[in-house]
C-alpha cells in the first residue's frame, strides 16, 4: 500500500511494488515523480529524510539526506550581515544548501532496495519527457508564485506558460530534467554531484555571486542516524533527530501527556487550545536550541536533551492551562514539501519526506540540467554565536519530519504531515487524535487544524463556526487560515486483523492505494 499527495505518484509506488520492488524502491519512485507533478514542493534540488522499519525491528533505521552550507560561505554571510539583513533572502544564493536528496536516493536504493535506481527512476524520466499534467491544487499553488518565477529568466522559461502559471490539466514537459534524471539513473549519485550536472549547478550559483564550488557537491554525503524516540500513552513514537524539528513533536506530546486529552473532543476548543499552548512552548524551545549536532555553538545532540528537558519542565503548566511566551522564531517556510508512506508485502514500512522548502525553493533554476534549487539556507540564523547560525559546512535547522510508531518489535504506523512550520504540530495533532481519541487515520486527517505562530492562532475555515469565538474566549488571538494547513498521509498496520488502514489528505490531490 502507498499514500501520497498525487494519484500518479501513488500509482507509481504501487506499480513499483507490483514489479517486485520493496517499500524503499516504491517511496523513492513516488518522490521522484512528485518532483515533476509538484515542482513547487520538491525535486532533486532539495533534501530528504527516510525512516525504514521491518517486522522484527525494535526501531526504524533513519537516514539524514539533508545538505550543508557551502564550505566557502563565510565571507558571503558576513557581507549579508554587513548589509543589515536579518535573515537570508529566499532567492539569495546563500539560501541554497547542497542538495541532499539524490545522494540519499542512491544510498538507500543500494543499501535497502531491490530494483536499482535505473528502474526506480524510469517512471519519472518518462513523465519528464511527456510532461506532467498539472493537478487542480497544484495549479492554485503555482498561480500564487508567478512573481518569484518571473524574477529568474531560466525559472520563468521552465515553469511558466508565457507569463502565466499553467492552468489545471496543462502538460509541462521538462526536457532538461529528463536528461538529468537519465544521468542519475545511469551513474547514480555521481551523475548528479560530478560531471556536467554539477558543473551546471556551480556555474549557475557562481553567476549569482554564490560561494559554492564543485568540491561542495562531490564531497556531500548523507548519514544514518538514530531516530529520536519517546513513548506516548504506551505507543512508541519515532521522529527524525536534530537537525530536524521532529523532536518538537515529541516535546509537544510530553507536554500533553499529563492532560486528560481523551476527555476533550478531537475538534473541541479545549483540544485546539492545548495543541496551541504545547506548540508555542515547543517552537520556543526549537528556536532556542535546535541545530546541527556538528554545530559547536549548540549541544552535541543538536539540542535534543535541552528541548525534551524543557518540555518536561513545562508539562505540568501546559496541562494546567499555562502558556509559553510566543517568540518570532526562525522562518518556518510555506509548507512546500511532499511526504510518502509505503508498506510492502513483507510489512516493511517506509516514511519519507522530500522538499525544496519554500514554494519553488530559491527560485533559482539551472539552464542545462533543469535543477531547481532549495532555499534551506533561510533556516539558519544570521546573527552569530547562537545554535543554528549560518556557518560553512553545517546543516541548517530543518522543518522536515517523517514519523513512525511501533510496538517495540515491529512498525505500527508510517505517517507524516507536510507543511513547513506546521509539520511537528501536525504530527502531535494527528497522533493525539488517533491515540487519545481512537480515530482511524483518515478520520484523524480530515478534522480541521489549527496552528499557533507568532502569537496568532490560525484556524482552518472548515472548522465549526463556534470554534473561533470559543478560542478567543480562552485568550487566543485568532484568525482564519488563508490556506489549508499542511497535508498528511498515513498507513497503519493492524497486525491483529492482518489489514492495512490508510489515510490521504483531501487538502491535497492525492490518494492511498493498496492491492
| d(C-alpha 380, C-alpha 374), whole Å | 13
Cα Rg of the chain (Å, integer): 21
Residue closest to 105 by CA, chosen among 19, 23, 31: 31
Output the pTM of the full model.
0.96
| d(C-alpha 260, C-alpha 69), whole Å | 44
| d(C-alpha 219, C-alpha 210), whole Å | 17
pLDDT of residue 331: 44
> Strand, helix or coil at 504?
strand
How does strand 411-418 pair with strand 403-406? antiparallel
CA dist 272 to 282, 313, 327, Å?
15, 21, 19
How does strand 349-357 pair with strand 336-343? antiparallel
Whether 514 maps to a domain, the answer reads no
pLDDT of residue 384: 86
Cross-strand pairs, 62: 51, 225
Whether 197 maps to a domain, the answer reads yes
Distance of alpha carbon 255 from its chain centroid, rounded?
Answer: 23
| d(C-alpha 498, C-alpha 494), whole Å | 6
| d(C-alpha 459, C-alpha 274), whole Å | 14
How does strand 499-504 pair with strand 487-494? antiparallel
pLDDT of residue 325: 57
Residue closest to 86 by CA, chosen among 400, 389, 374: 389
Average pLDDT of adjacent 10-residue blocks, the chain of 515 residues: 98 98 99 97 98 97 99 97 95 98 99 98 98 91 95 96 92 96 98 99 98 98 98 98 97 97 96 97 95 93 94 88 62 69 98 97 98 98 91 96 96 96 96 98 97 94 88 96 94 98 95 97
Whether 307 maps to a domain, the answer reads no
CA dist 415 to 70, 169, 334, 501, Å?
32, 29, 20, 12
What cell numbers appear for 44 in the block?
Answer: 532533486
Count of the separate structural domains present in the chain: 1
Whether 405 maps to a domain, the answer reads no
| d(C-alpha 274, C-alpha 60), whole Å | 29
| d(C-alpha 483, C-alpha 263), whole Å | 29
Name the helix (H) or strand (E) containing 276: helix 269-289
Within a 10 A sphere around the Cβ of 474, how many other Cβ atoms? 18
Whether 200 maps to a domain, the answer reads yes
pLDDT of residue 448: 96
> Strand, helix or coil at 37?
helix
Whether 277 maps to a domain, the answer reads no
Whether 422 maps to a domain, the answer reads no
Question: 15-41 burial by CB neighbour count: b if 16+ within 10 A, else e?
Answer: bbbeeebbbbbbbbbbbbbbbbbbbbb
Judge if the upstream peptide bond of residue 32 is cis by omega within 30 degrees of 0.
Answer: no
pLDDT of residue 335: 53
Q: Which residue range is the domain that position 372 belongs to? A: 2-55+68-77+92-221+355-379
Cross-strand pairs, 225: 62
| d(C-alpha 292, C-alpha 217), whole Å | 19
pLDDT of residue 464: 82
Whether 404 maps to a domain, the answer reads no
* Residue 103 half-sphere exposure toward CB, CA atoms < 13 A: 22
- Angle between helix axes 175-187 and 122-130 (nearest 10 degrees) is 160
Amino acid at each position: 500500500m502507498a499514500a501520497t499527495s498525487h494519484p500518479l505518484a501513488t500509482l507509481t509506488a504501487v506499480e513499483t511494488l507490483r514489479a517486485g520492488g520493496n517499500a524503499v524502491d516504491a517511496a523513492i519512485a513516488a518522490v521522484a515523480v512528485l518532483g515533476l507533478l509538484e515542482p513547487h514542493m520538491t525535486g532533486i534540488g532539495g533534501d530528504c529524510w527516510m525512516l525504514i522499519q521491518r517486522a522484527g525491528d525494535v526501531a526504524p533505521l533513519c537516514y539524514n539526506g539533508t545538505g550543508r552550507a557551502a564550505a566557502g560561505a563565510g565571507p558571503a554571510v558576513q557581507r549579508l550581515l554587513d548589509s543589515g539583513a536579518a535573515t537570508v533572502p529566499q532567492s539569495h544564493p546563500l539560501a541554497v544548501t547542497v542538495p541532499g536528496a539524490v545522494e540519499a536516493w542512491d544510498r538507500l536504493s543500494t543499501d535497502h532496495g531491490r530494483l536499482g535506481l535505473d528502474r526506480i527512476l524510469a517512471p519519472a524520466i518518462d513523465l519528464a519527457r511527456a510532461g506532467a499534467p498539472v493537478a487542480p491544487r497544484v495549479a492554485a499553488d503555482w498561480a500564487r508564485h508567478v512573481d518569484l518565477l518571473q524574477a529568474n529568466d531560466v525559472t520563468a522559461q521552465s515553469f511558466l506558460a508565457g507569463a502565466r502559471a499553467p492552468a489545471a490539466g496543462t502538460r509541462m514537459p521538462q526536457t532538461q530534467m529528463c536528461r538529468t534524471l537519465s544521468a542519475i539513473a545511469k551513474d547514480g549519485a555521481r551523475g548528479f554531484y560530478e560531471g556536467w550536472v554539477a558543473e551546471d549547478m556551480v556555474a549557475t550559483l557562481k553567476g549569482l555571486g554564490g560561494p559554492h564550488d564543485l568540491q561542495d557537491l562531490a564531497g556531500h554525503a548523507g548519514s544514518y542516524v538514530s531516530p529520536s524516540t519517546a513513548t506516548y500513552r504506551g505507543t512508541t513514537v519515532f521522529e527524525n533527530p536534530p537537525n530536524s524539528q521532529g523532536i518538537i513533536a515529541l516535546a509537544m506530546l510530553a507536554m500533553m501527556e499529563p492532560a486528560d486529552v481523551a476527555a476533550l473532543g478531537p475538534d473541541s476548543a479545549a483540544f485546539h487550545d492545548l495543541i496551541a499552548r504545547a506548540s508555542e512552548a515547543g517552537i520556543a524551545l526549537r528556536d532556542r536550541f535546535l541545530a546541527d549536532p556538528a554545530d559547536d555553538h549548540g549541544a552535541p545532540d543538536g539540542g535534543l536533551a535541552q528541548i525534551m528537558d524543557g518540555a518536561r519542565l513545562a508539562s505540568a503548566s501546559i496541562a494546567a492551562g499555562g502558556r509559553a511566551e510566543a517568540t518570532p522564531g526562525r522562518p518556518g517556510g510555506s509548507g512546500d514539501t511532499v511526504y510518502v508512506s509505503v508498506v510492502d508485502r513483507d510489512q516493511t514500512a517506509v516514511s519519507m519526506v522530500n522538499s525544496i522548502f519554500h514554494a519553488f525553493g530559491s527560485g533559482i533554476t539551472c539552464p542545462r540540467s533543469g535543477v531547481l534549487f532549495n532555499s534551506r539556507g533561510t533556516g539558519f540564523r544570521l546573527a552569530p554565536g547562537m545554535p543554528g547560525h549560518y556557518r560553512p559546512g553545517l546543516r541548517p535547522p530543518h522543518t522536515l519530519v517523517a514519523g513512525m510508531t511501533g510496538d517495540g518489535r515491529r512498525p505500527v504506523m508510517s505517517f507524516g504531515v507536510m507543511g513547513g512550520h506546521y509539520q511537528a504540530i501536525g504530527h502531535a495533532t494527528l497522533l493525539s487524535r488517533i491515540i487519545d481519541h481512537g480515530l482511524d487515520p483518515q478520520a484523524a486527517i480530515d478534522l480541521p487544524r489549527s496552528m499557533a505562530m507568532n502569537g496568532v492562532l490560525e484556524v482552518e475555515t472548515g472548522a465549526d463556526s463556534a470554534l473561533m469565538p470559543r478560542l478567543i474566549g480562552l485568550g487566543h488571538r485568532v484568525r482564519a487560515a488563508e490556506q489549508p494547513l499542511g497535508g498528511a498521509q498515513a498507513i497503519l498496520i493492524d497486525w491483529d486483523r492482518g489489514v492495512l488502514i490508510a489515510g490521504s489528505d483531501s487538502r491535497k490531490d492525492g490518494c492511498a492505494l493498496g492491492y
